[in-house]
């Protein structure tokens, strides 16, 4: 079965139209493409958390089918459930779902980029003496003494092979400074914090 990502869904712009007239000729190729798109959307729905599924306000039957698919573990059962999801999607306006999925995926990409930028700053601040001056130029409002203390402690912990407590604190401080400069749209999203503190 052909796998389609969200970009393909958006570019192809296949419509799953419940109002299509019964006598309109539809080719097997188009039917197959629509089924593939519907199942691709279904896979993305299964991967979502329950909270995000609730935010999508799916029809009850579709929501229940997605939750059932999340519970399944056998490949054959999952494949059959995806086919069922595809059939249910024929009676649903998929455009708002696709738009919201794309928005979430785009936000995740931005969050990942921000996380990697902060991680690089932490690594450089600990390893490169000149990095703090560069950071100060970019973020002149920082408490430089606080940064110097954390950097010095992080270096000592690293040299002594101790748990990276100060390194974690430094990351938190970098994140706070970064968020003051570029506030996040969703303040409840603490994914970068969770990753950094692992």
Domains of the chain and any CATH numbers: 6-93 (1.10.60), 107-196 (1.10.60.30)
Q: Residue 92 has what pLDDT? A: 84
Whole-number Å distance between alpha carbons of 104 and 94 = 16
Q: Residue 189 has what pLDDT? A: 43
What interhelical angle do 28-47 and 95-127 show, nearest 10?
50
Whole-number Å distance between alpha carbons of 154 and 172 = 13
pTM over 0.85: no
> 165: closest CA among 175, 176, 178, 153?
153
pLDDT (tens place) for every residue of the chain, 198 residues total = 444 454 444 444 444 454 544 445 567 787 777 778 888 888 889 999 999 899 989 899 999 999 999 998 888 898 899 889 888 888 888 888 888 888 888 877 888 888 899 999 999 999 999 999 999 999 999 999 999 999 999 999 999 999 999 999 999 999 999 888 665 444 434 444 444 444
What is the C-alpha end-to-end distance of the chain, expressed in Å? 37
Whole-number Å distance between alpha carbons of 29 and 164 = 57
Q: Residue 192 has what pLDDT? A: 41
């Amino acid at each position: 079965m052909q796998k389609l990502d969200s970009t393909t869904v958006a570019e192809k712009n296949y419509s799953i139209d419940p109002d299509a007239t019964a006598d309109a000729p539809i080719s097997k190729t188009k039917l197959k493409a629509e089924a593939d798109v519907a199942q691709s959307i279904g896979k993305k729905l299964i991967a979502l958390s329950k909270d995000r599924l609730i935010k999508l306000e799916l029809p009850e039957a579709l929501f229940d089918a997605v939750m059932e698919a999340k519970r399944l573990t056998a490949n054959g059962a999952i494949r059959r459930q995806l086919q069922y999801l595809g059939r249910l999607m024929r009676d649903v306006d998929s455009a708002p779902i696709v738009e919201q999925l794309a928005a979430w995926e785009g936000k995740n990409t931005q969050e990942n980029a921000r996380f990697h930028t902060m991680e690089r700053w932490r690594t450089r601040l600990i390893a490169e003496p000149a990095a703090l001056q560069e950071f100060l130029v970019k973020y002149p409002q920082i408490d430089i003494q606080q940064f110097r203390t954390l950097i010095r402690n992080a270096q000592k912990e690293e040299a002594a092979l101790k748990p990276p407590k100060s390194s974690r604190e430094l990351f938190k401080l970098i994140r706070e400074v970064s968020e003051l400069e570029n506030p996040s749209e969703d303040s409840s999203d603490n994914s970068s914090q969770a990753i950094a503190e692992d």
